[in-house]
Amino acid sequence: MRIAMIGTGYVGLVSGACFSEFGTDVVCVDKDSSKIDRLLAGEIPIFEPGLDKLVANNVAAGRLSFTTDLATAVKGADAVFIAVGTPSRAGDGQADLTFVRQAAKEVAEVMEGYTVVVTKSTVPVGTGREVAEIIRATRPDADFDVASNPEFLREGAAINDFMRPDRVVIGTLEPRAQEVLRELYRPLYLIETPIIFTQLETSELIKYSANAFLAVKITFINEIADLCEKVGADVHDVAKGIGLDGRIGRKFLHPGPGYGGSCFPKDTTALAHTAREKGSPVRIVETVVDINDKRKKGMADKVIAHCGGSLEGKKVAVLGLTFKPNTDDMRDAPSIDIVPALRAAGAAVSVYDPEGIEEAKKVISDVTWCENAYDTMPDADVLVIITEWNEFRGLDLGRVKSLMKAPSMVDLRNIYNPAEMANAGFDYESVGRPSGLAEAGE
């Protein structure tokens, strides 16, 4: 088997490397020659744990290669995966399909023999059919099928998510196409991964529904966390108490500053848009989009309230900027809303992130960039944790205290224990949990 992967962004690169690890010959294509040059030099353009090794091993084994030449990659391939970007279109928030359409046309021009063209990018329902029409219009004689095969990769855990997924969804009912995809995913049959074959449109909608549902879950627990703060309840126990009901499930019930990243914000907006366009609005998702946007902005108010209602002339130390740990991705990160709001409230802000500083500098300005966590803290009035990187979980609290003006922390990811923080002398606030009381004698 040989496949071409069009697009060496996050999804294309991870999927290409993982398919090659499964034993398939994979040629990854990208128009961006500087990206291909870097990959050919063994450099990985994104931060994803384990990806560098996986790529290096499979390149060395001769199963994985990179090129800017789409024609050579596509000619004779059993399957061509389209994994190009689908950014949110300015104005209406709908997914911009320019790159997908362009890729479909270019693939059609050069494909040879029976080829399965698979959309891996997250695309609005109906895009698969459109891809098929583009190919047919470009090459009326082409022998092909179009399938949808959405990815469910979490950044930071993408390789594991690809190799040991909860399920694989394949949108095509054509036997020949199913056969090719079944062969590509053969190693997953050995570990009994459920593989769902369904129609093209259903597969496209599964992807949006999965991400929207998870966004609903997060937003639900975020709102319950706010209520917990008002009534003195602990959101973690609420999450456990409801999550142990198998119908609800425990995952994605961790409260925080609102979801971000490359998928949830984009996909919820796109789903809401498609649904409205089709005259069947998904109002719960529209509401979730609205609540989450407001939440991210509102987190700065939480810090202001914690500091007695004003940040004028105060210094805020911020730890974590990326939308989640183990990535350098800043797309729709809550910090993009929170940090400028802290500045606007009159605070001087020092920031540190283990991997995200370079990306953060493109979207955040007017702050002091620090080399490590402790460098943010001298004379700070409050320490704010926005992203739960592991290295922030074990801060030397004595050192933190000695550096700060006063020991005060707003932990937007609940990585510390309220009682322990109270015992350590911190004015500590988290999300949806009562503040701890210091034990007697401490």
- Check the annotation: does 35 bind a ligand: yes
Q: Does 356 bind ligand UDX (CB under 6 A)?
A: no
Q: Does 392 bind ligand UDX (CB under 6 A)?
A: no
Q: Which stretch binds ligand UDX (CB under 6 A): 34-42, 147-155, 180-188, 426-434?
A: 147-155
Type and span of the H or E element at 349 = strand 348-352
In the complex with ligand UDX, which residue's Cβ is closer, 79 or 214?
Answer: 214
Q: Does 213 bind ligand UDX (CB under 6 A)?
A: no
Question: d(Cα 127, Cα 207) in Å, to the nearest integer?
Answer: 13
- Check the annotation: does 306 bind a ligand: no
Q: Which stretch binds ligand UDX (CB under 6 A): 197-205, 260-268, 278-286, 311-319?
A: 260-268
Residue of 16, 256, 320, 407 that binds ligand UDX (CB under 6 A): 256
Q: Which stretch binds ligand UDX (CB under 6 A): 13-21, 91-99, 262-270, 425-433?
A: 262-270
Residues 6+ apart with CB under 8 A from 111: 74, 75, 77, 80, 117, 135, 139, 142, 144
Q: How many residues bind ligand UDX (CB under 6 A)?
A: 20
- Check the annotation: does 266 bind a ligand: yes
- Check the annotation: does 254 bind a ligand: yes
Question: d(Cα 284, Cα 263) in Å, to the nearest integer?
Answer: 18
- The answer to whether 338 touches 344, Cβ cutoff 8 Å, is no
Residue of 25, 78, 145, 151 that binds ligand UDX (CB under 6 A): 151
Q: Does 260 bind ligand UDX (CB under 6 A)?
A: yes
- In 3D space, the residue among 334, 346, 345, 255 whose CA is nearest the CA of residue 301 turns out to be 345
Residue of 9, 12, 16, 261 that binds ligand UDX (CB under 6 A): 261
Question: d(Cα 212, Cα 264) in Å, to the nearest integer?
Answer: 7
Q: Which stretch binds ligand UDX (CB under 6 A): 97-105, 185-193, 210-218, 314-322?
A: 210-218
Burial of 109 (0-12, 13-18, 19+ CB in 10 A): middle
Question: d(Cα 257, Cα 260) in Å, to the nearest integer?
Answer: 9
Which strands make up the sheet holding 115-119, listed edge to edge? 64-67, 25-29, 2-6, 79-82, 115-119, 144-148, 168-171, 195-198
Q: How far is the CB of 158 from ligand UDX (least distance, A)?
A: 8
Q: How far is the CB of 182 from ligand UDX (least distance, A)?
A: 22
Q: Catalytic pick from 28, 228, 263, 370?
A: 263
Q: Which two tokens stand for residue 148?
A: 């949808």
- Check the annotation: does 324 bind a ligand: yes
Residues 6+ apart with CB under 8 A from 46: 9, 10, 13, 328, 329
Instruction: Say whether 263 is catalytic.
Output: yes
Q: Under the rule (CB under 6 A), what is the footprint of ligand UDX? A: 151-155, 211, 214, 218, 252-254, 256, 259-264, 323-324
Binding-site sequence positions for NAD(+)? 30, 35, 86, 122, 155, 266, 331
Active site residues per annotation: 263
